[in-house]
Amino acid sequence: MKFILPKKEVPTLNYITLEMGIKLVKDTFERKLANRLNLTRVSAPLFVEVNTGLNDDLNGIERSVGFDIKEVNTTAEIVHSLAKWKRKALKDYDFQVNTGLYTDMNAIRRDEELSNIHSIYVDQWDWEKIILKSQRNHDTLKDHVNKIVGALKETEEVVCDAFINLEKFVSEDVFYITSQELLDLYPTLSAKEREYEIVKKHKTVCLMQIGKKLSDGTAHDGRAADYDDWDINCDILVYYPVLDIALEISSMGVRVDEHSLVKQLEAKNQLEKLGLPYHQSLINLELPYTIGGGIGQSRLCLLLLNRVHIGEVQASIWDSETKRIAKSLNINLL
């Protein structure tokens, strides 16, 4: 367990005030995101059947939480995210080009390494939008990044008006850079060290092309092969001085098409997945071309409410050492 000690004082908020702040952040951002991206809220599953190919495999090594269903005689697993489910839903719900959906995604990631910004409980807004094949490019990616950051900045203004002791940390001026350009800029640093340096300098950064192999033979970070196109994806990062870190707010991207799917599965030696129902639908051109991503709800509350630990804005399970340190710092874990 890694507990990052705060680098500056934060305002004191009691439980009730904090809960009011959490609701304000979530209600405001959700509304502004939907308006900017032309999204409609839908209901989404907490779990999916095993062997459908719908669950997000993350880096391919994380264990899902599974269980059997007596009455249905099948096995299900808690979603890691809804990255692939959303694309199928857009077709099933008959969404049209340049419209999309968003939903509350709740997950359990039991192999997560816990810290101030990582919990086994994951809550995020998962969103997905239909685009034309001709829109599968960096201009489309950047346009959606700018709109998301704009919604984030608007939400920050609303929250800081309501809670006058809070500081503003979000810059609406997004700095764009690819993972290869970042490696070229800081060749002696690790991936996370490179992120920190560029984000501390530019405050709000869109780091593009996550998952593809770089010139040193590594990938900047892991990314599943069967949802984001590694050439047209990104992470949105914000510098958070309370913890002196690069805080990832969103992972998103233009989704794979029938060609990049095969190419990326081959790169990860996972071509056997092409036999799964979801992947067959993609190969047979039965699903729309889309862009989408996830935006962390608790991460957003941590940032906009100037908190030290994600356990202040969500209820989860923590080890005894985390609880001890939090108590010594007068940090209230929910």
Sequence-separated (6 or more) residues with CB below 8 Å from residue 216:
183, 187
Question: How far is residue 101 CA from its own chain's centroid?
Answer: 16
Residue tagged active-site, from 209, 250, 251, 316: 251
Q: Is-catalytic flag, 235?
A: yes
Q: Which of 101-115, 152-166, 208-222, 292-306 has the lowest mean pLDDT?
A: 101-115
Q: Is-catalytic flag, 194?
A: no
Average pLDDT, the chain: 91
Q: Is-catalytic flag, 124?
A: yes
List the structure tokens of 27.
């209600």
Whether residue 88 is contained in a domain is answered as yes
In sequence order, which ranges of the chain are alpha helices (DSSP H)? 15-37, 85-92, 138-162, 179-185, 191-202, 258-267, 277-283, 297-304, 320-328
Range of the domain at 312: 15-328
User: What is the pairing mode between strands 228-240 and 204-208?
Assistant: antiparallel
User: What is the pairing mode between strands 121-130 and 290-296?
Assistant: antiparallel
Q: Residue 144 — very low, low, confident or very high, per pLDDT cuts 50/70/90? A: very high
CA distances from 289 to 45, 69, 90, 281 (A): 22, 33, 10, 12
**Average pLDDT of span 96-117:** 89
Residue tagged active-site, from 124, 135, 264, 314: 124
Whether residue 63 is contained in a domain is answered as yes
Whether residue 60 is contained in a domain is answered as yes
Whether residue 236 is contained in a domain is answered as yes
What local confidence, expressed as pLDDT, does residue 252 receive? 95
**Average pLDDT of span 101-110:** 88
CA distances from 294 to 76, 128, 134, 261 (A): 22, 9, 23, 20
Look up residue 192 and give its amino acid.
K
Q: Residue 160 — very low, low, confident or very high, per pLDDT cuts 50/70/90? A: very high
Q: Which residue has the higher pLDDT, 3 or 135?
A: 135
Q: State the helix-helix crossing angle for 297-304 and 15-37, rounded to 10 degrees.
A: 120
| Phi–psi pair at 100, nearest 5 degrees | -165, -170
* Residue in this structure with the two tokens 């630990």, named with its chain if needed: 309
Residue tagged active-site, from 123, 248, 257, 312: 248
CA separation for the pair 144, 141 (Å, rounded): 5
Q: Is-catalytic flag, 36?
A: no
Residue tagged active-site, from 231, 235, 257, 312: 235
Please, is 273 exposed, middle or buried when counting C-beta atoms within 10 Å of its C-beta (0-12, 13-18, 19+)? Answer: middle
List the structure tokens of 180.
């290869």
Whether residue 9 is contained in a domain is answered as no
Residue 287: pLDDT above 80?
A: yes
Whether residue 300 is contained in a domain is answered as yes
Question: Tell me: the pLDDT tens digits for 226-268?
Answer: 889 999 999 999 999 999 999 999 999 999 999 999 999 999 8
β-bridge mates for residue 49, sequence order: 76
What local confidence, expressed as pLDDT, does residue 58 receive? 66
DSSP summary character for residue 166: P
CA separation for the pair 176, 169 (Å, rounded): 18
| Phi–psi pair at 176, nearest 5 degrees | -100, 135
Give me the percent of the chain exceeding a pLDDT of 90: 66
List the structure tokens of 42.
């839908």
Whether residue 5 is contained in a domain is answered as no
Question: Tell me: the pLDDT tens digits for 193-229?
Answer: 999 999 999 999 999 999 999 999 998 988 888 889 9
Q: Under a CB-based contact definition with an 8 Å cutoff, are residues 175 and 202 in contact?
A: yes
Question: Tell me: the pLDDT tens digits for 36-60?
Answer: 999 999 998 888 887 777 676 666 6
Whether residue 6 is contained in a domain is answered as no
CATH code for the domain in which residue 162 is found: 3.30.930.10
Among residues 58, 31, 26, 7, the alpha carbon closest in space to that of 239 is found at 7
CA separation for the pair 149, 247 (Å, rounded): 14
Residue 177: pLDDT above 90?
A: yes
Number of structural domains, the chain? 1
Residue tagged active-site, from 30, 57, 109, 154: 109
Q: Residue 77 — very low, low, confident or very high, per pLDDT cuts 50/70/90? A: confident
Q: Is-catalytic flag, 63?
A: no
